[in-house]
Chains A and B, each alone.
Chain A
Amino acid sequence: MPLTKWDGAAVLLVLLLSAVSLLFPILAGSDGGMLIIDSETGRREIPLSASGDYEIHSGGHTLTVRIEDGGAAVIGSDCPDKLCMGLGRMGLGHMGLGRIDKAGQSIACVPAGVLITVGGEGDADAVAG
């Protein structure tokens, strides 16, 4: 193995940065009120209290978003990546991946050009920033 001590330091630095950036989802804050869906067809806002399945058509793809118990997750997608669903399937939903319920949390689908964000009572950007 061609590794050096400095390589070890590089790995530790990235681990440290990762730990620091864990603050973003943790500080994301209060329970959200609205689900904001930005897609190529425009913006759609759905209250998180309105449980049910919603379809989003964007970028030639169809995503199914389920709202349940004040949170939201992408439960179906016809895009090949399925990244938006995948991280949630790995049981990481509570870390702001997969299922989202706190203001400022989001799910991004790159192939379809969709961003699903939880908006709070006030300004979501200020809470997550």
Chain B
Amino acid sequence: MPMPSRAEFTPQRLCTDALLLGAALILSWLEILLPMPAIPGFKPGLCNIAVLLAVHRFSLADGAIISLSRIAVMSILFGSVTSFAFSLGGGILSLAVMGLTKPMHGRFSLAGISVLSAAAHNLGQSLAACLVFTSPAPLGMLWWLLLLALPTGLLTGIAAELTHRRLNRGAR
């Protein structure tokens, strides 16, 4: 499938982005409905499957639009100002890592890219918490958040990689 360039906003790209944003919102909502019983408050970040796909099928800008719209909608529906700041810090840092690692897709699979961006997300959240509370104290939990980024990043990354390959096969 010929990938549209950055400048080319085709109806197909618009529709795919809209579908991916819908998928991201539904996955975020599912995580609220199905809390993890073993580790309270722990979320696998399934919506990043949609963001990863947008970044790798189109461009970083597509991923950014989906990620930031998702954060805005989820914060308005279910969140607070504080949770919006935390999500935004995580979302921006994770997008930055996705942008930096995109050219290395091939060496990294989306699983590796996802692990790095999940770690960046949790680091961004901790930094945002430091800003919100004007205290370095939230960094004390960082080691634990980074460990959690491994299983969650691998899970979402493998799902994204398999979906990406299947979509490529379907397009031929």
A interacts with B: yes
Residues of chain B with a CB closer than 8 A to A24's CB: 136, 139-140, 142-143
Q: A71 within 8 Å of B by Cβ?
A: no
User: Contact: A81 with B41, CB < 8 Å?
Assistant: yes
Interface flag for A122 (CB, 8 Å): no
| A10 lies within 8 A of B116 (CB) | yes
User: How far, in angstroms, from A111 to B4 measured CA to CA in the complex?
Assistant: 41
What is the bound-complex CA distance between A80 and B80, given in angstroms? 14
Checking B81, B135, B144, B150 against A106 with a beta-carbon cut-off of 8 angstroms, the contacting residue is B135
B158 lies within 8 A of chain A by Cβ: yes
- CA separation between A122 and B147, bound complex, in Å? 32
* Complex A-B: 18 CB contacts under 8 Å: A1-B158, A7-B108, A7-B111, A7-B157, A10-B115, A15-B150, A21-B146, A24-B139, A24-B143, A83-B42, A86-B40, A106-B138, A108-B133, A108-B141, A110-B83, A110-B86, A115-B138, A124-B135
A17 touches B140 (CB 8 A): no
Instruction: Convert B124-163 into 0s and 1s, putting 1 for each residue whose CB lies closer than 8 angstroms to a CB of A.
Output: 0000010001011111111110110110011001100110
A2 touches B35 (CB 8 A): no
Is A59 located at the chain interface by the 8 A CB criterion?
yes
Please state if B135 and A82 are interface contacts (CB–CB under 8 Å).
Answer: no
Pick from B115, B143, B144, B149: contact of A7, CB below 8 A: B115
B136/A4 in contact, CB under 8 A: no
| Interface contact A104-B147, CB-CB below 8 Å | no
Residue of A nearest to B147 (CB): A18
Give every chain A residue within 8 A of B41 (Cβ-Cβ): 81-83, 86
Whether B108 pairs with A2 at a CB distance below 8 angstroms is: no
- Mask, A54-95, CB within 8 Å of B = 1, is 000001000000000000000000001111011100101001
Q: Given A21-B146, A83-B40, are A4 and B133 also a contact pair (CB < 8 Å)? A: no
Residue B98 interfacial (CB < 8 Å)? no
A96 touches B161 (CB 8 A): no
A3 touches B35 (CB 8 A): no
CB distance from B123 to the nearest CB of A (A): 8
Q: Which chain A residues lie closer than 8 Å to B165 at the CB level?
A: 2
- Check: B3 CB closer than 8 A to any chain A CB: no
Closest B residue to A1 by CB, please name it. B158
Pair B119/A125 contact, Cβ less than 8 Å? no
Q: Is the CB of B138 within 8 A of A82?
A: no
Contact (Cβ within 8 A) A104 B137: yes
From B40, B109, B112, B143, contact of A25 by CB (8 A) = B143
